[in-house]
Structure 1
Amino acid sequence: MQPNRIAEDLLAALRFYSRLPVAPKAQGAGAYGPPDLDRIAYAIPLAGAVIGLIGAAMLLIGDAAGFGGDLAAVLAVAAMVLATGAVHEDGLADTADGFGGGRDTAQRLAIMRDSRIGAYGATALGLALLLRVAGLSQLLWAAGPLRAALTLAAAAAASRAAGILLLRALPPARADGASAGVGQPSPAAAAACALVAALVVIVVLVPSYGVGAAFAGLIAPLLALFVMVRLSQRMIGGQTGDVAGATQQVAEIAFLLGVLMFARNA
């Protein structure tokens, strides 16, 4: 694959997954529309790594400034939230509200589409932010700033692959909406996405912590994906863009906690 093609697909993934000022190569009515997942699926973990590196840079800056692990971790997570426009966090909150407050599939989908946030969504969002910050802070203490920063980038890559694999595993729960507009990636595209994410995880974690941590970094997002697939299938009979965003959040937390178990002994 040509470098120009990889760069174009990476930029397309960043346009879709972030608020970074990445202009499309060609202007037009569809320039900012849904991407072709079959084309760019392999680049989505790379886009996640770029977003993770933004958080990693803030983590290193906060640590170098002497802010301490907790504040450095807050800055890192805040930078990633700002870079993405909180799109994944919004999906997590909507999913928690729908799954927690709806009595049947139709009501759950209606609640998820409501822009207002309820008790389930606020609680899930607060807990997710706390877990990300606390996990990253502990990783900074256990592994040091550089390894913690690289781990954050790998977590961002692997967790976004989990979101794509969810879209592949389940059909859209409704005919309209974000996930229906994007469509399901083909088996080959989903496999390419998973392979690139796995390579990022292995390249980052094996030299930093060893094989055990790399295994945890591969398995933890898959376990999160499995739970979210089963839950979404039972609750709404398929997937939505909100559930994909929630899956990314859960997978990122699982990744950080999984690696943290090995970081203390590395």
Structure 2
Amino acid sequence: MSALSEFRRDLVIAVIFFTRIPLRYRGEIGPAELSRALRCLPLVGLLVGSIAALAGFLAYSLGAPALLAALIAVAASILATGCFHEDGLTDVADGFGGAFERQRKLEIMKDSRTGSYGAAALILSIAIRAAAIAPLIEAGAAWLLLPAAHALARAVIPGLMATTPQASATGLASYHEPPRGAVLWSALGGGALAALLLAGLPAGLWLILAAFLSTLCLRWLALRQIQGYTGDVLGASEQLAEMAVLATAAALLA
């Protein structure tokens, strides 16, 4: 199989697994295939971010206020991913906030029910993202900065996986093999390149720093709370990085 065919295969797997966009894939998607497809996460982010930017632009063009258009943009990204990362954020908030013992935290994170901590985290996530996106829409910058934010927010996931032990032998995270060097650097490099091309200098560097710091903070917290990462922690890392990058972009515009 040629390098281009392998890349196309990995991109299809990444889109299937991380979004609700209906694509067909012939063959089994095992841990090795899924881990290799992580290199395409920045492209998945560009796709989701573009969908969100288009929805926000259309709403704003039809006369919706900027904040309402921003909420529609966030809703579009949620629909595109099926609340994939939001679910991780709510589970992490419930688990980390709802118990003192490590094992009990992990049990709460596996519970499909959403508690008060999770609900608050989800509300804050939507509110912060919408508040940050509104000025980007008004400035006509959402077309560039939303895809950049989504690309960066997903690019940090393999880095978190590569530098942090797994907290549980079961669950979604255990289905991945640890990302190899080529996959890791492809994802990180792809996200950084997207930010630099779409946001320019020096703004792109600030966005990269925001994504890096938010992930570093979550890694520290996850190690203290459950001694590693789970699939929910990976989802939460995307949400925190997305919020951090969008808030930074809005601050730079201001």
TM-score by length of 2: 0.95
Partner of 1:193: 187
Partner of 1:126: 123
Q: Unaligned 5+ residue runs, structure 2?
A: none
8 Å CA contact retained: 2:41, 2:151: yes
Q: Secondary structure at the match of 1:19?
A: coil
Alignment of 1:65-144 (within 5 A): 65-141=62-138, 143-144=139-140
Partner of 1:175: 169
**Distance change (3 Å), C-alpha of 1:90 and 1:35:** farther
Q: Deviations over 1:4-52 (max 9, x none)?
A: 333222111111101110111x14xx34x55624422221111111111
Q: Deviations over 1:108-128 (max 9, x none)?
A: 000000001101000011001
Q: Deviations over 1:77-135 (max 9, x none)?
A: 10110111101000000000000011111000000000011010000110011001110
Q: Secondary structure at the match of 1:133?
A: helix
Q: Secondary structure at the match of 1:23?
A: coil
- 1:161 is displaced (CA, Å) by 1.2
Decide which of 212, 215, 221 is 1:231's aligned counterpart: 221
8 Å CA contact retained: 2:89, 2:118: yes
Separation (CA, whole Å) in 1 of partners of 2:42 and 2:252? 23
Separation (CA, whole Å) in 1 of partners of 2:168 and 2:98? 19
Percent identity (aligned): 37
Q: Unaligned 5+ residue runs, structure 1?
A: none
**Distance change (3 Å), C-alpha of 1:127 and 1:35:** farther
Partner of 2:237: 247
Q: Secondary structure at the match of 1:88?
A: helix
Partner of 1:157: 151
**Distance change (3 Å), C-alpha of 1:258 and 1:35:** farther
TM-score by length of 1: 0.91
How many corresponding residue pairs?
Answer: 253
Q: Which amino acid aligns with 1:189?
A: V
Q: Which amino acid aligns with 1:19?
A: R
Matched, 1:214 2:204: yes
Q: Secondary structure at the match of 1:36?
A: helix
Separation (CA, whole Å) in 1 of partners of 2:91 and 2:233? 8
Q: Secondary structure at the match of 2:179?
A: coil
Q: Output the aligned Cα RMSD.
A: 1.5
